[in-house]
């Protein structure tokens, strides 16, 4: 039995000095989140000097606190009894971990770890070891000691990094990494007990439990792991840069001690991380890939029909959700509106609901993720398709009034609105949500919607929420967002430009030969200067000059008329330069433009 445990057991008889630590803990926990004035932090830290041995108690308290938080977050779910899939969700601290200080090849390392231990990787919680947390001092050392560029699979020497540490512990140790160097140095004078030991024998491999501080308690094991890792860390440091051992040790270990005064610096850390524009990522680009960019079609072809590794489980999960259908229907009829959230596309689920329950009744499907959907189009389809009204409206407000009035007058008409992604980019505006909310508040309009964006609930304020009268349902489906993401212009997807090309040819075909010539002139010029990164377009004067030379126009008025037509068809874009000269640009990528010219030539 370790002395620590013994101490804990006899604590009834044992008088300890706990005053400062206790007080400190209270003070700092109260202030968590709030910004503590600098002076007070320093004072608090100074107070800690004499409580080296009690530091572990502090961390236990913290863990309790976190446990409480975690249970607070999930308590409701756990007592639910007939809960859904997520009833056994982990505590808040496990889900919302704090960020670690990063190194350039962290990700590759992580990947290699996940690859090395495939059986366990799925379950790991974010690594809580100090090694992962990596003190800032390591960053600089890494830059000096190792080459940064190849994030190759780096053997990590089989350290116990996959250890699942309790949430509180990981939190605390992660916090440590946020202590800026400047502040740490202050602690050199108050070298705690443990540190002194370690400084005395930095490369002593088998430091036993008895070396631990006396009031060591339940998180002992993890702490042990930490200790060992730290030692390895030290050895490694010694090997690479022997002169830095002492310094590294001093930087590292005290950072562990002041667990309490750190919360405010987390906030500061956030801003320092975001203030500097310097980014430490490697400079490699996708150009290095031997496989070229994929276009949308290839992507769809590749992904189509490939079964997911979890197909069975996902199917099962979705079957579970389908059991709710009759309940949703009932709740919709009783004046509630149903909102689905959770990871995975909910479109198939809603589609199944629609086809199984809504076939006989009036319903309208809104694809909120569609990039060009507008409130007007939604309202139009209600007035035209549902209310069969042919007239037009001056403003959406008027249209809304009309819809509200006619729906109120005819309570027998029940309308079901199925909105995929009510948080879609085009529906996020205040006015749109207000209008949708007003629709939803009508007794004979029933809304069934889904959200996906993590910040989606911010769209609604209290008033809108009361209009919508949502019942939230968690439906995590894990299905790919195939349709929802197909409209987003992902970085990685090659823009085929097929659409742009066809529109170009169609518009130009209807123009006069002269106009075509003008456009061609501009296109050729743009292609010539495509290697010039600072090319901002052809200035109007120069363009006019060229057009004159090619006998395409005889006055700048003619050219302007022509350009206006181009602009109306969105074939060109004009930009005012710094010298207030107009620059003309074709907003199409060079490849499409080349294709276009080739096609023109072929004709």
Partner 1 sequence: QFYLSHKCVHCSSASGHFVFFIIYATRSLIIQIHQFILQEDLNKKMLDGLLEFVKKSAASFWCRDDDWMSRMRASEIPTAALVLGVNMPDHTITFESMTELLHDSLTPFVASVQAKECTGNRSYVWPGIKAFFPLPLQCHLCMSVCVCHLQKSPVKSPRKRLSSSQSEFLQSPPVVVIFRDLEAFSPQVLQDFILVCSQYVHQLPLVFIFGIATSPSTIQRMLPHSVSSLLCIELFQSLSCTQHLATIIDKLFLTSKFHFKFSAKVLQVLVGIFLYHDFSVCNFIKGLQLSLLEHFHSQPLSVLCCHKQEALVHAQQLNDRDVERIQQLPSFMRYVEEQVPEEQVQLLTSSEHVKGVCQKLLKSLHKYHKNFYPALRCLHVLTSILPKYPLGKQIRELYVLCLEKKVWETQEYDSAMQLIRMLAKDELVTCLQKCVEILTFCKSKKLKKVGQQLQDITATCEKLDSDRENDSSGKGLQKTDLFHLQKTLLEMKECRRTRRKTPYEILRNAVVDYIDNLVKTHLYPPESQPLYEVWYYSSSGTVRRHLNATPRTSIQTALSHPYCYLQNDSGIISSAAPDICIIYKLHLECGRLINLYDWLEAYATVATAAEGKDPSAIEGGKVDELKHARFIRAVSELEFLGFVKSTKQKTDHVARLTWGGC
What is the footprint of partner 1 within residues 93-112 (CB under 8 A)?
Answer: 94-100, 102, 105-108, 110-112
Q: CB nearer to partner 1: give 122 or 557.
A: 122
Binding of residue 121 to partner 1 (CB under 8 A): yes
Among 10, 39, 88, 534, binds partner 1 (CB under 8 A): 88
HSE-CB of 443 using CA atoms within 13 angstroms: 6
- From residue 46, alpha-carbon distances to 184, 235, 261 in Å are 12, 30, 10
Instruction: State the Cα angle at 179 between 177 and 182, rounded to 5°.
Output: 135
Among 205, 288, 323, 394, binds partner 1 (CB under 8 A): 288
DSSP letter (8 states) at residue 416: E
CB contact at 8 A, 467 and 442: no
Q: CB nearer to partner 1: give 369 or 519.
A: 369
Question: Count of CB atoms within 10 A of residue 129's CB?
Answer: 24
Binding of residue 540 to partner 1 (CB under 8 A): no
Q: How is residue 488 written in tokens?
A: 């987003």
Among 188, 343, 498, 499, binds partner 1 (CB under 8 A): 343
Binding of residue 23 to partner 1 (CB under 8 A): no
DSSP letter (8 states) at residue 446: E
Binding of residue 83 to partner 1 (CB under 8 A): yes
Q: How is residue 197 written in tokens?
A: 């030991």
Task: Annotate each residue in 385-424 with x if it binds partner 1 (CB under 8 A) or - if it does not, as one string.
Answer: ----------------------------------------
HSE-CB of 9 using CA atoms within 13 angstroms: 6
Question: Count of CB atoms within 10 A of residue 409's CB?
Answer: 8
Scanning residues 346 to 385, which ones bind partner 1 (CB under 8 A)? 369
Binding-site residue total for partner 1 (CB under 8 A)? Answer: 114
Piece of the chain touching partner 1 by CB under 8 A; list 62-70, 81-89, 140-148, 565-573: 81-89
CB contact at 8 A, 431 and 375: yes
Among 308, 356, 377, 541, binds partner 1 (CB under 8 A): 308
Q: CB nearer to partner 1: give 341 or 525.
A: 341
- Separation CA 185–CA 251 (nearest Å): 7
> Please, which residues have CB within 8 angstroms of residue 55's CB and are 6 or more apart in sequence?
192, 213, 256, 257, 259
DSSP letter (8 states) at residue 336: -
- Separation CA 252–CA 245 (nearest Å): 10
Among 23, 273, 384, 550, binds partner 1 (CB under 8 A): 273
- Separation CA 152–CA 115 (nearest Å): 13
Scanning residues 320 to 339, which ones bind partner 1 (CB under 8 A)? 327, 330-331, 334, 336
Would you say the C-alpha torsion 169, 173, 178, 184 has a positive or negative sign? positive
Q: CB nearer to partner 1: give 8 or 266.
A: 266
Supply the minimum distance, in Å, between the C-beta of residue 298 and partner 1. 7
Piece of the chain touching partner 1 by CB under 8 A; list 370-378, 465-473, 505-513, 543-551: 465-473
- From residue 406, alpha-carbon distances to 358, 389, 497 in Å are 22, 10, 45
Supply the minimum distance, in Å, between the C-beta of residue 395 and partner 1. 11
Longest dimension (CA), the chain: 106
Strands 470-474 and 294-295, sheet pairing: unpaired
Q: How is residue 318 written in tokens?
A: 């979705």
Q: CB nearer to partner 1: give 132 or 366.
A: 132
Supply the minimum distance, in Å, between the C-beta of residue 452 and partner 1. 6
Scanning residues 202 to 261, which ones bind partner 1 (CB under 8 A)? none
Among 341, 370, 416, 583, binds partner 1 (CB under 8 A): 341
Token pair 């042990």 in the structure block, residue:
224
Strands 493-494 and 573-576, sheet pairing: unpaired
**Phi, psi for residue 493 in degrees, rounded to 5:** -90, 130
Among 147, 290, 510, 603, binds partner 1 (CB under 8 A): 290
Among 284, 405, 506, 575, binds partner 1 (CB under 8 A): 284
Q: How is residue 395 written in tokens?
A: 């403003």
Supply the minimum distance, in Å, between the C-beta of residue 348 and partner 1. 15
- Separation CA 525–CA 549 (nearest Å): 14
Among 491, 557, 578, 602, binds partner 1 (CB under 8 A): 491
Task: Annotate each residue in 133-162 with x if it binds partner 1 (CB under 8 A) or - if it does not, as one string.
Answer: ------------------x-x---------
Task: Annotate each residue in 422-461 with x if it binds partner 1 (CB under 8 A) or - if it does not, as one string.
Answer: ------------x----------------xxxxxxx----
Among 77, 218, 238, 565, binds partner 1 (CB under 8 A): 77
Among 165, 176, 476, 526, binds partner 1 (CB under 8 A): 476
Q: CB nearer to partner 1: give 478 or 540.
A: 478
Among 268, 322, 410, 488, binds partner 1 (CB under 8 A): 488
Piece of the chain touching partner 1 by CB under 8 A; list 136-144, 220-228, 468-476, 586-594: 468-476
Question: Count of CB atoms within 10 A of residue 308's CB?
Answer: 12
Q: How is residue 105 written in tokens?
A: 């090849």
Supply the minimum distance, in Å, between the C-beta of residue 125 and partner 1. 8
> Please, which residues have CB within 8 angstroms of residue 358's CB and are 6 or more apart in sequence?
416, 418
Piece of the chain touching partner 1 by CB under 8 A; list 72-80, 514-522, 530-538, 562-570: 72-80
């Amino acid at each position: 039995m370790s002395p620590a445990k013994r101490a804990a057991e006899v604590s009834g008889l044992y008088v300890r000095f706990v005053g400062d630590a206790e007080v400190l803990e209270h003070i700092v926990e109260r202030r968590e989140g709030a910004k503590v004035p600098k002076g007070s932090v320093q004072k608090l830290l100074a107070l800690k000097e004499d409580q080296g041995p009690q530091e572990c108690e502090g961390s236990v308290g913290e863990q309790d606190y976190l446990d409480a938080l975690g249970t607070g977050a999930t308590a409701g779910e756990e007592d639910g009894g007939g809960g859904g899939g997520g009833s056994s969700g982990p505590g808040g601290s496990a889900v919302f971990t704090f960020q670690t200080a990063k190194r350039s090849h962290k990700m590759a390392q992580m990947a290699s770890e996940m690859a090395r231990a495939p059986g366990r990787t799925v379950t790991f919680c974010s690594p809580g070891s100090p090694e992962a947390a990596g003190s800032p001092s390591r960053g600089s050392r890494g830059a000096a000691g190792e080459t940064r560029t190849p994030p190759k699979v780096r053997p990590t020497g089989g350290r116990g990094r996959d250890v699942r540490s309790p949430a509180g512990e990981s939190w605390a140790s992660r916090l440590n990494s946020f202590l800026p160097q400047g502040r740490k140095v202050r602690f050199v004078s108050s070298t705690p007990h443990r540190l002194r030991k370690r400084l005395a024998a930095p490369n002593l491999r088998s430091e036993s439990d008895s070396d631990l501080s006396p009031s060591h308690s339940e998180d002992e094991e993890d702490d042990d792991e930490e200790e060992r890792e730290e030692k390895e860390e030290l050895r490694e440091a010694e090997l690479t840069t022997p002169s830095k051992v002492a310094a590294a040790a001093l930087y590292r270990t005290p950072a562990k001690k002041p667990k309490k005064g750190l919360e405010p610096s987390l906030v500061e850390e956030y801003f320092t991380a975001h203030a500097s524009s310097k980014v430490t990522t490697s400079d490699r680009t996708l150009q290095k890939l031997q496989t070229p960019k994929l276009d949308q079609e290839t992507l769809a072809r590749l992904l189509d029909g490939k079964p997911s590794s979890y197909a069975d489980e996902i199917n099962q999960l979705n079957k579970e959700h389908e059991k709710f259908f009759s309940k949703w229907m009932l709740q919709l009829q009783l004046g509630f509106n149903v909102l689905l959230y959770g990871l995975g596309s909910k479109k198939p689920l809603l589609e199944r609901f629609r086809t199984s329950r809504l076939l006989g009744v009036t319903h309208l499907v809104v694809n909120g993720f569609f990039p060009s959907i507008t409130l007007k189009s939604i309202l139009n389809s209600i007035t035209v398709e549902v209310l069969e009204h042919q007239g037009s409206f001056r403003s959406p407000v008027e249209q809304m009034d009309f819809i509200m009035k006619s729906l109120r007058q005819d309570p027998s008409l029940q309308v079901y609105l199925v909105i995929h992604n009510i948080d879609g980019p085009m529906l996020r505006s205040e006015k749109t949500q207000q209008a949708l909310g007003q629709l939803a508040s009508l007794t004979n309009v029933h809304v069934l919607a889904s959200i996906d964006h993590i910040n989606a609930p911010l769209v609604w304020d209290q008033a809108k929420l009361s209009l919508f009268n949502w019942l939230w349902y968690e439906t995590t489906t894990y299905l790919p967002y195939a349709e929802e993401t197909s409209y987003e212009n992902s970085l990685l997807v090659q823009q085929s430009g097929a659409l742009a090309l066809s529109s170009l040819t169609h518009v130009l075909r209807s123009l006069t030969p002269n106009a075509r010539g003008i456009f061609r002139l501009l296109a050729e010029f743009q292609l010539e200067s495509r290697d010039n990164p600072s090319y901002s377009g052809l200035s109007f004067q120069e363009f006019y000059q060229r057009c004159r030379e090619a006998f395409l126009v005889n006055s700048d008025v003619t050219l302007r008329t022509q350009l206006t037509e181009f602009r109306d068809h969105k074939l060109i874009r004009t930009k005012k330069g710094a010298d207030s000269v107009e620059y003309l640009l074709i907003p199409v990528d060079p490849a499409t433009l080349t294709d276009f010219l080739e096609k023109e030539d072929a004709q």
